[in-house]
């Protein structure tokens, strides 16, 4: 199936023209220049600030008839600028109807005034005095006649831009307890435009960011916020030119407040598929009827989208270190709290953990230590680790396992499984030399059997270690490492496991373990089930099933966003363009989809484990899928 990127994205621009107060000609010229930039940038929509044609801070001058007439002349000029263009513009102006003056946003498309939306909520407190000049519109939508054209006027208007519905609220409308955008989104608006004039105060910018991002999250929408430039009047306040574009709770583009740079337009590509996916997924989100929808008679521009992507979608982009560390700490405590509760509810005295010297079992041990702390119990009294060298275990991993257990204050028991495995080979008539699936899985199941039996002996439970990436790929032995009593890593992807272990290695209470944790972080990921005894690691997981950074990217976009394989490949080719060829991405994506589909039977039987993020595969919670589904869907 051919993937047409521009059909899946909506390019939106916010613009911040310089203002000459009450100088309509100068303002229209500045707006026109930025509009042309947005056209050249293939934007479908460009949003200008509140009252951008006249300037916001003109006070009583707004009631002057000459200014009102000139503003309409300026609107007509800008209307004509859009003839034969595919970019829709939202501009602000004062507008008079039946002796009432309204603070309005006009939508201009293909040489027409598609509609005029009046501001609903007038701020009239502190530095704001809008009720002195403007009225809120109290009636239903009406049709005005402007230049022999019928123009819809009212609050219940949505604008269809090439099949994408847009709603408009103006500045204060967002700040009230019941913003108009709530009903607009409920009636099908995917994009909300907000022409604004918000003055700058200490701390207000952060509040504004939170407000815009949270509104886009609540509405499951794109939100384009364009505020007035500092060239507005500074008699009593200073405007900041703050521009924000948000998508589903995430700020994807921003012009910082009081910016001194010359860049006055900011553009982002809103992912329409992601909005649609979340609205379908949320069964409280149903579209209501009622709004008048105006077709803007334009086709969205064709363009090559430039979505804002990160290689690791399980780690927020550009998050400050303090905030990121708080997130990591929260994940560890979610895992540890879940484990502490499971210990109490099962009346278990011990945790039994297979400690391999690899990343996953290392994280599980660190979480177990935190659980013991929560319960106020000595680490050694709660946790028993067992290292079980097999036919291909390396000295490096086995030594690291024992050093780690000692560093965190727990005893490590070594149980060599070689003789157990050989006896089972003999019972199976296996030559013990052919390193096939049976050769590997006999070892994995032997280890699991020991863990369960040891837990029975000590009145404990077996702590699972397998991570979300392995669960997605089915990279585990059924009824081997696949099974446990409780798995604290079940919703932690491999890429995040690595970050969490590094984070914990820097904790002061794990200072004794820092050296061994760093060596574990540098050890190649391997099940160590094939190869030569006592050799260096020869079986590398990522050489067999592909890079985990790719698989985690695929997993996030498939489960969190419901993206098609074609779109996932397109996104991966952008995010990993410096790391993998398109051929490599295609190869590993096909393998991922094939394994993901074929291994649902393992996921259908996985034990309990705490959910820590937005992507999880528990068959009791986030992901229900038949074990015998065909993989043809992904082809």
Q: Active site residue: 171, 247, 296, 424, which one?
A: 171
Q: Active site residue: 16, 37, 50, 200, which one?
A: 50
CA distance 9 to 574: 15
Of 501, 538, 494, 507, the closest CA to residue 521 belongs to: 501
490: left (phi over 0), alpha (psi -120 to 50) or beta: alpha
| Burial class of residue 60, CB neighbours in 10 A (0-12, 13-18, 19+) | exposed
Tell me the β-bridge partners of 11: 269
CA dist list (Å): 512 to 14, 411, 496: 52, 15, 23
CA dist list (Å): 355 to 269, 387, 468, 561: 46, 5, 18, 35
Residue numbers in the chain where pLDDT is lower than 50: none
Per-residue confidence (pLDDT) for residue 535, from 0 to 100: 54
- 16 part of the active site: no
Identify whether the C-beta of residue 614 lies closer than 8 Å to the C-beta of residue 248: no
DSSP letter at 378 equals -
| 3-state SS, residue 308 | coil
Residue 311 C-alpha from the chain's centroid: 12
pTM over 0.85: yes
Written as six digits, the tokens of 612 are 């820590």
Per-residue confidence (pLDDT) for residue 538, from 0 to 100: 59
- 104 part of the active site: no
Per-residue confidence (pLDDT) for residue 452, from 0 to 100: 97
CA distance 236 to 200: 11
Identify whether the C-beta of residue 215 lies closer than 8 Å to the C-beta of residue 191: no
- 263 part of the active site: no
- CA 366-370-371 angle, 5° bins: 115
- Using only C-alpha atoms, the chain has a radius of gyration, in whole angstroms, of 30
CA dist list (Å): 45 to 113, 184, 377, 589, 612: 14, 17, 60, 34, 37
Residue 277 C-alpha from the chain's centroid: 13
DSSP letter at 199 equals B
């Amino acid at each position: 199936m051919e993937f047409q990127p521009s059909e899946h994205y909506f390019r939106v621009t916010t613009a911040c023209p310089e203002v000459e107060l009450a100088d309509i000609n100068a303002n229209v010229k500045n707006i026109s220049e930025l509009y042309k930039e947005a056209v050249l940038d293939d934007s479908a929509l460009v949003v200008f600030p509140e009252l951008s044609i006249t300037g916001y801070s003109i006070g009583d001058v707004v009631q002057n008839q000459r200014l009102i007439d000139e503003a309409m002349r300026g609107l007509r000029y800008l209307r004509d600028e859009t003839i034969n263009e595919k970019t829709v513009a939202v501009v602000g102006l004062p507008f008079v109807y039946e002796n009432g003056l309204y603070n309005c946003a006009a939508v201009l498309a293909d040489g027409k005034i598609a509609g005029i939306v009046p501001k609903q909520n007038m701020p009239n407190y502190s530095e704001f005095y809008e009720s002195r000049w403007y009225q809120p519109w109290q009636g239903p939508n009406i049709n005005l006649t402007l230049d022999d054209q019928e123009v819809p006027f009212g609050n219940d208007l949505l604008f269809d831009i090439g099949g994408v519905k847009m709603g408009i609220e103006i500045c204060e409308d967002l700040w009230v307890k019941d913003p108009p955008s709530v009903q607009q989104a409920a009636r099908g608006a995917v994009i909300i435009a907000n022409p604004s004039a918000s003055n700058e105060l200490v701390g207000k910018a952060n509040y504004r960011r939170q407000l815009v991002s949270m509104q886009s999250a609540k509405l499951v929408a794109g939100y384009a916020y364009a505020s007035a430039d500092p060239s507005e009047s500074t008699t009593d306040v200073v405007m900041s030119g703050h521009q924000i574009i948000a998508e589903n709770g995430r700020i994807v583009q921003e012009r910082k407040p009081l910016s001194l740079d010359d860049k006055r337009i900011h553009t982002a590509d809103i992912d329409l598929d992601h909005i649609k996916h979340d609205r379908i997924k949320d069964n409280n989100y149903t579209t209501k009827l009622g709004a008048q929808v105006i077709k803007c008679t334009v086709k969205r521009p064709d363009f090559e989208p430039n979505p804002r992507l990160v290689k690791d979608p399980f780690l927020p982009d550009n998050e400050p270190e303090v905030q990121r560390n708080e997130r990591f700490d929260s994940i560890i405590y979610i895992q540890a709290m879940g484990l502490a509760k499971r210990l109490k509810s099962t009346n278990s005295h011990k945790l039994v953990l297979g400690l391999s010297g690899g990343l996953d079992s290392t994280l599980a041990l660190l979480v177990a230590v935190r659980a013991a702390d929560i319960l106020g119990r000595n680490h050694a009294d709660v946790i028993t680790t067992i290292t079980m060298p097999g036919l291909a275990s390396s000295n490096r991993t086995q030594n690291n396992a024992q050093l780690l257990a000692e560093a965190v204050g727990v005893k490590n028991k070594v149980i060599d499984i070689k003789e157990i495995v050989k006896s089972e080979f003999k019972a199976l008539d296996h030559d013990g030399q052919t390193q096939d699936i049976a050769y590997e899985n006999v070892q994995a199941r032997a280890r699991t059997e020991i863990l369960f039996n040891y837990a029975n002996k000590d009145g404990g439970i077996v702590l699972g270690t397998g991570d979300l990436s392995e669960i997605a790929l089915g990279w585990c032995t059924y009824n081997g490492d696949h099974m446990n009593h409780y798995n604290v890593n079940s919703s932690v992807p491999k890429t995040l496991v690595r970050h969490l272990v590094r984070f914990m290695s820097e904790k002061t209470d794990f200072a004794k373990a820092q050296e061994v944790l760093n060596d574990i972080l540098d050890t190649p990921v391997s099940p160590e089930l094939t190869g030569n005894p006592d050799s260096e690691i020869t079986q590398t997981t990522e050489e067999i099933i592909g890079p985990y950074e790719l698989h985690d990217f695929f997993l996030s976009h498939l489960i969190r966003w419901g993206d098609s394989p074609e779109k996932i490949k397109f996104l991966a080719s952008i995010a990993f363009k410096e790391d993998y060829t398109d051929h490599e991405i295609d190869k590993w994506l096909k393998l991922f989809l094939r394994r993901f589909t074929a291994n649902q039977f393992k996921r259908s039987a996985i034990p309990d484990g705490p959910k820590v993020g937005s992507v999880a595969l528990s068959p009791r919670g986030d992901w229900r899928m038949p074990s015998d589904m065909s993989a043809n869907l992904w082809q």
